Copies of this chain bind each other. A is one copy, B any other.
Amino acid sequence: MTPAITDVVVRDIRFPTSRTLDGSDAMNVGDYSATYVVLRTDDPRLEGHGLTFTNGRGNELTVAAARALAPHVQGRTLESITGDMRAFFRALTQDAQLRWLGPEKGVIHMACGALINAVWDLWAKREGKPVWKLLVDLPPERLVELVDFSYITDALSPDEALDILRRLGPTRPAREAEMRRDGYPAYTTSTGWLGYPDEKVRRLCREAIAEGWTHFKMKVGPDLDGNARRAALMKEELGPSRTLMMDANQCWDVGEAIRQMKALARFDPWWIEEPTSPDDVLGHAAIARAVAPIGVATGEACANRVVFKQLLQARAISFCQVDSCRVGGVNEVLSILLLAAKFGVPVCCHAGGVGLCEYVQHIALFDYIAVSGSLKDHVLEYVDHLHEHFVDPVRIKDARYLAPQAAGYSITMKPASLDEYEFPGGRAWRG
């Protein structure tokens, strides 16, 4: 008997991270939060968990959106969903009334991400596999059926997607064994938050170097002099053998991005992340042309596969940083991995926040084993925040993510954490 989803519980979970300026950048000062979905089933031992990440205030909106979408999930058997996930994805994203609120963007789409990822967690737990392994074990034909190709067929047809997946089929086992042995290469964002004083940045850099990190990201902001000063400080700590990336978190216009990066080029940054609005495909393309060989990276705030399609078509990005739950969950991430593979652009998923590292390790492993087949220019973001709240947290060793082994999507939080940080009634928020 396939389990049936009997109940969709949505909880508003918030961590008061703004009190310490963890996660501060040019545009965001947040309380890392989760719209946390639990799919209960008629098997009391089996639940699917999923979340979408938000930044504090407004988490109640994605919570309400997940509840508005819940009728598309509640009462269905797992098999009726996994048997035609393209239809399930479209039922959620093309709801005839709710789609006006997007379509496929912002609050409503982030809620889709939480629900769809919860289904994947449920499916993987039912199969007794981590999500990455569930994906790796699906044949190319089944993987293609998971993708909604609407609006992307001008860049990637189902047949092309099938070719990409089939090409790597025979060599999947070797890469799987490599990943189980070595893990997936990561970089750290934990050292260079904008709100940290210089001495804290130096200390964190030294600690991270001692732990074996080789790629470091710093935040940059509107003040060029301040950016240059902090970049010099980071470079001094990193030395010539380690790699520095910069992240502007959308704080510049196109012209200003070009001006700043020409000035900051002397610090040899590998990429400039989010130089301008995440909606500005043509702007990113203009910046990319102007600042090469520095690569342009973006994605954490890009709404959906249509935006990524264009960033790739316009040769606007050298690194694709899709977020695991801003877009419509595993299914839409898969479409973006395939698009990136078609255009030869490495996917380096956005992580951090709360739960994002837990999610993206599955995506990165699957991408390497079955879609891109390459580690060249691939590094996965790691931020050392809030992992203690997860039942199966990420494990980092020698600056690499170790392959998760527990069944599911690694996103299940500890019941005590959920209770303590539930907003507004949890202990962390009272008084």
A residues at B contact (CB < 8 Å):
18, 27-31, 54-58, 60-62, 64-65, 68, 94-110, 149-154, 250, 253-255, 276-283, 286, 301, 303-304, 306-307, 309-310, 313-314
A279 touching B306 by the CB < 8 A rule?
yes
Cα(A327)–Cα(B310), bound, Å: 22
A153 touching B58 by the CB < 8 A rule?
no
Cα(A303)–Cα(B282), bound, Å: 16
* Shortest beta-carbon distance from A335 to chain B in Å: 13
Cα(A100)–Cα(B29), bound, Å: 10
Contact flag A101-B150 (CB < 8 Å), given A96-B28, A108-B107, A281-B282: no
Number of chain copies forming the complex: 2
B314 touching A28 by the CB < 8 A rule?
no
Cα(A28)–Cα(B98), bound, Å: 9
Which 6 A-B residue pairs are closest in the complex by CB-CB distance? Answer: A106-B106, A55-B100, A107-B107, A56-B97, A154-B254, A57-B97
Q: Which residue of B lies closest to A102 (CB)?
A: B106
Q: Which residue of B lies closest to A68 (CB)?
A: B58
Cα(A334)–Cα(B126), bound, Å: 53
- The interface residues of chain B lying within 8 Å CB-to-CB of A29 are 96-97
Cα(A61)–Cα(B100), bound, Å: 12
- The interface residues of chain B lying within 8 Å CB-to-CB of A61 are 61, 64-65, 68, 101, 107-108
Cα(A106)–Cα(B149), bound, Å: 22
* Shortest beta-carbon distance from A61 to chain B in Å: 5
Cα(A56)–Cα(B282), bound, Å: 34
B282 touching A58 by the CB < 8 A rule?
no
- The interface residues of chain B lying within 8 Å CB-to-CB of A100 are 28, 30, 54-55, 58, 301
B96 touching A30 by the CB < 8 A rule?
yes
Contact flag A280-B255 (CB < 8 Å), given A61-B101, A64-B64: no
* Shortest beta-carbon distance from A29 to chain B in Å: 5
* Shortest beta-carbon distance from A92 to chain B in Å: 12
* Shortest beta-carbon distance from A338 to chain B in Å: 16
B253 touching A279 by the CB < 8 A rule?
no
Q: Which residue of B lies closest to A250 (CB)?
A: B103
Q: Provide a sorted-by-A list of 7 A–B residue pairs whose CB atoms are within 8 angstroms.
A: A28-B96, A58-B108, A61-B68, A106-B109, A106-B303, A151-B277, A154-B253
Contact flag A101-B279 (CB < 8 Å), given A108-B106, A253-B153: no
